[in-house]
Structure 1
């Protein structure tokens, strides 16, 4: 269907003015990319907030619902330069469960979230507080580097300050 046919079909009684300037599109290619980037950033930021809330609720089901099946968790302590690495949803879940067991009242406060939507990454900065099973109080600053694919976490790489 030509533009003329379309105009006649939409308004058969009106005569189309073929010299009339068509309006500029609401989104050009650059602004469309910017809009998509902002939407991705908002999605990642909301996922980071959801993760923080789920961690503070100690809700492993909610946490793991935000992780991909092939996810990787890297914790600061371990025998390798990257700390301890856990691969796959079941392994990651078990590692996180042990975190909650070791610090039953663990809380991640003062949360700040940063997003690089083009790299599909986000950072959550926090202050961890909690009490070990032996009664030792912990307070440490740290951050998590997240990588996302299709709205799910595929990597969580954790860092925290060493308190001596």
Structure 2
């Protein structure tokens, strides 16, 4: 979980993908479901590539980690440059599930304005 957060912050797409199981699920904080769910490495890779290419978002800042066996929580924050030029800090929390030391679920939640 910590390594994945560091790789995400570095926008290391290949490194992030190495941390995921083939059947991993990324439940994003935003989208129509609410959120949006990406299943499997190809779908997750495409979404992460899009996120990492967004220059209005600062690198992820990892906060406290709460590992507990096959699950864990990680606090995080990012700074987002808004269309009016202002910057907002967005805070969030991810729920992780693991199998064989790989991430099987990254379920993301965030504070909204």
TM-score relative to the length of structure 2: 0.88
Point out the structure with max Rg over C-alpha: 1
1:9-44 CA distance string (max 9 Å, x none): xxxxxxxxxxxxxxxxxxxxxxxxxxxxxxxxxxxx
1:154 aligns with 2:104: yes
Higher RCO (C-alpha 8 Å, min separation 6): 2
Greater fraction helix: 1
From 141, 149, 164, the counterpart of 2:91: 141
Say if 1:50 and 1:162 are closer, same or farther in 2 by CA, change over 3 A. Answer: same
Gaps of 5+ in 1: 1-47
Say if 1:160 and 1:105 are closer, same or farther in 2 by CA, change over 3 A. Answer: closer
Gaps of 5+ in 2: none
Q: What's 1:93 paired with?
A: 45
Greater fraction strand: 2
Question: Alignment length, in residue pairs?
Answer: 113
Q: What's 1:114 paired with?
A: 66
Q: 1:142: how far off?
A: 0.3
Say if 1:136 and 1:113 are closer, same or farther in 2 by CA, change over 3 A. Answer: same
1:40-76 CA distance string (max 9 Å, x none): xxxxxxxx21111101110001111000001100011
5 Å matches for 1:1-40? none
TM-score relative to the length of structure 1: 0.63
